[in-house]
Amino acid sequence: MADRITITIDGKECSGWSDMTILDIATANGIKIPNLCHNGELKHYGGCSLCVVEAENSRKLLRACSTTASDGQVIHTDSDRVVTSRKIALEFLMSDHEGDCRGPCVMNCPDNCKAQLYVMAIGRGEYEEAVRIIKEDLPMPSSIGRVCPHPCETACRRQMVEEPISIANLKYFVADKVRESRGFTPKVEAPTGKTVGIIGGGPAGLTAAYYLTLKGHDVTVVDAMPKMGGMLRYGIPEYRLPKDVLDDEIAEIKSVGINFVNNVKISSNKEFLEFRRKYDATIVAVGAWLSVPMRIEGETTEGVYGGIDFLREVAEGNAPKIGDSVMVVGGGNTAMDACRTAVRLGAKNVYVVYRRTEAEMPADQEEIDDSRDEGVQYKFLRNPAEVISENGHVREVKLQVMELGEPDASGRRRPIPVEGEFETVAVDSVIVAIGQRVDPSPFDSLELNSKLIIAADESSYRASLDGVFAVGDATNKGAGIAIEAIGEAKRCAGVVDMYLRGIDMPYRKPYRSETEKTPEDFADKAKEARAKMPKRPAAERSKDFGEVALGFPEDVARKEAQRCLECGCFDFDDCELIKCANIYEIHPERLGGSKHPAYKEQKLVAIERDQGKCILCGQCVRMCDEVVGKGIIGLMDRGFGTDIRPIFNDTINIEETCSHCLKCAIACPTGALRILENNVDKVNA
């Protein structure tokens, strides 16, 4: 008969019985000890070595799952020896693990928006579920779906078959569909009594405000402009992002309980410090509103406009008179917005001047193609050398002819002037869209980096003053795409939430298992053309600011979503291996080398076995043998080639048992065993 005993775990007295293991007593007393091979239905095994603990007066580490506790024991679960041992064990496991935790689309998104999951939900017609998934990471999907240059699609493996999934357009489709019906209502946690002040109501400021409010904090956003939205409102033209769509999404964000205050400009360091004193935490998300100058003779001449200044004036209804001939300098998406806007303002000749070739242009190719359809002309390998004026106004631009040299730090070939070769183009105005920068003057008390941009720690987002955080275009690297600012703001919100709760917890990039694939891996996939976004004809759309894209019809959207290859792990949210891998900072790449055989097969009828994800914990084998009493599967072969297979290919037992049992797959801690779709309902029942 078992006796009552008491042991001490991490300073806490824990009671149990003399026949219980250290792990059993820890679990019963609310103490979590990581493990992968322990299952309440199975005998103690002790195979994964993750549950090791240190007992005082013991020279060796003990496996908590298979060591019976002794009265009076003093146990440490997080000593240096324990942590070192667990990290090594995890690195060995992960170095031989062959599987994608998340699809490449997710990993290549700066916000890590769960594209695979919401695309699959769209394919099933589960639109509200798709929006719920999106809004875990992104509070304004209708807007971002329209304007994002979709780095997710750059990484999509479907292009190894034919073309990537139209992920951004699917986001746009489903967000519009749910927003136009009844919208999405998130859960807001109980009030914490803590306050946050955010300077800047662009995509970064709105995102941080949204996620902090959901955590129960009282958030106020101030912005210098008459309406919230930042560059989404004042830097992106109406034909790409209708402002009624943006208004709807901002109203949804505000509805969670955020206080918006417009026409408030923080114009001095004194005003900034006064603002900061009102709140428990402050986030600076002011964006980059100054156009980068060309630094050439004559650029202060009347008729020369900064790209973002030009777009802002148009958005505010104060479009400047640009004349019949307009030159836009630059090769990014702001240059595309500027040249297409100039067409809509009535310019007859619109030139885009870029110092490299089209192949090096950072602008989205679709934007370049659409601009050409609308009549924009391109002058590549040209760079402005001088703006020539007449009567104080632009008359023409002298262009330096360029050629490409060796690649620079960006990986693109460096443009080099061709000595003595120039071209002169007569124009009425010039729009300079070669970059944007922040105005740091109101933030003198904050440390700036060498680029005169607010310096913020890349893990904690802390600026140089206590309680002040900074995100988005105003920090570190400067202006980028909206989804980068949104991803940074979301992560910052998590850090600020912890700060307000008295916990210093910088963001740490989570560990994810990733695999390399080649077109040969998808050779069996039938080719299906990518859905094309229907658009208004160029001759019609170039005359007004109405939205160019018409949106996917529902049948087209669902068919497009069903092209997804489902690269990421189906079991990610329940995978014990990845949960353990993210407790500590691990570096399994240092143990790189050959991996055990990785292949998939379905010889168990109802279950797909992925040997690449298997860590040989033995739970499935023991479940089939000890609990079910069938012994259908076993550890086959020896040494490095060991894998799990049906013993002697026992097809009779498999047919009779496996399609009804499924216990091995349920016990698997890594997603190596997948219950096939037609058997999911049996598990849920």
Coil, helix or strand for 675?
Answer: strand
| 228 vs 476 pLDDT, higher one | 228
Q: Of the given ranges (69-78, 424-433, 661-670), which has the lowest mean pLDDT?
A: 661-670
Percent of residues, the chain, with pLDDT higher than 90: 76
Under 8 Å between Cβ of 217 and 194: yes
CA distance 572 to 600: 18
Check residue 10 and give left, alpha or beta (phi > 0: left; psi -120 to 50: alpha): left
CATH of domain 4-95: 3.10.20.740
pLDDT at 55: 95
Q: What is the mean pLDDT of residues 640-660?
A: 72
Is residue 445 predicted with pLDDT exceeding 90? yes
Burial of residue 315 (CB within 10 Å: 0-12, 13-18, 19+) is: buried
Closest CA to 131 of 258, 215, 249, 260: 249
Owner of token pair 């620079």: 408
Report pLDDT digits (tens) over 112-149: 999 999 999 999 999 999 999 999 999 999 999 999 99
pLDDT at 46: 63
Under 8 Å between Cβ of 105 and 167: yes
pLDDT at 685: 45
Q: Of the given ranges (88-102, 356-370, 525-539), which has the lowest mean pLDDT?
A: 88-102
CA distance 678 to 684: 12
Closest CA to 489 of 150, 213, 674, 270: 213
Q: Choose which CATH entry (3.40.50.720, 3.40.50.20, 3.30.70.20, 2.40.50.100) describes domain 597-684.
A: 3.30.70.20
Residue-averaged pLDDT of the chain: 92
Name the band, by pLDDT with cuts 50, 70 and 90, for residue 678: low
Name the band, by pLDDT with cuts 50, 70 and 90, for residue 412: confident
Under 8 Å between Cβ of 598 and 611: yes
252-264: b (≥16 Cβ within 10 Å) or e = bbbebebebeeeb
The domain ranges of the chain are 4-95, 195-289+437-500, 293-432, 597-684
The answer for residues whose C-beta is within 8 angstroms of residue 243's C-beta and 6 or more apart is 229, 233
Owner of token pair 């003595």: 420
pLDDT at 325: 98
CA distance 526 to 90: 38
- Kindly report whether the global pTM for this prediction surpasses the value 0.85: yes
**Third-level CATH fold of 195-289+437-500:** FAD/NAD(P)-binding domain (3.50.50)
Is residue 653 predicted with pLDDT exceeding 70? no
Check residue 467 and give left, alpha or beta (phi > 0: left; psi -120 to 50: alpha): left
Report pLDDT digits (tens) over 144-182: 999 999 999 999 999 999 999 999 999 999 999 998 876
CATH C-level class of 293-432: alpha beta
Angle at CA of residue 511, ends 115 and 614, nearest 5°? 90
Report pLDDT digits (tens) over 175-207: 999 988 766 788 999 999 999 999 999 999 999
Report pLDDT digits (tens) over 258-296: 999 999 999 999 999 999 999 999 999 999 999 999 999
How many of the other CB atoms lie within 10 Å of CB of 124?
A: 12
Is residue 474 predicted with pLDDT exceeding 50? yes
413-425: b (≥16 Cβ within 10 Å) or e = bebeeeeeeeeeb
Beta strands per DSSP E along 338-464: 349-354, 377-380, 382-390, 393-407, 413-426, 429-432, 436-437
CA distance 11 to 647: 47
Per CATH, 195-289+437-500 and 293-432 having the same topology is answered yes
pLDDT at 684: 47
Percent of residues, the chain, with pLDDT higher than 70: 97
Q: DSSP class of residue 459?
A: T
Name the band, by pLDDT with cuts 50, 70 and 90, for residue 651: low
CA distance 309 to 314: 9
Q: Which amino acid is at 373?
A: D
CA distance 586 to 580: 10
Coil, helix or strand for 447?
Answer: coil
CA distance 431 to 386: 14
DSSP letters spanning 122-176: HHTT-HHHHHHHHTTT-S-HHHHHHH---HHHHH-GGGGTSS---HHHHHHHHHH
Closest CA to 286 of 226, 196, 203: 203
Report pLDDT digits (tens) over 489-511: 999 999 999 999 999 999 999 99
pLDDT at 525: 94
pLDDT at 649: 56
pLDDT at 648: 61
Is residue 650 predicted with pLDDT exceeding 60? no
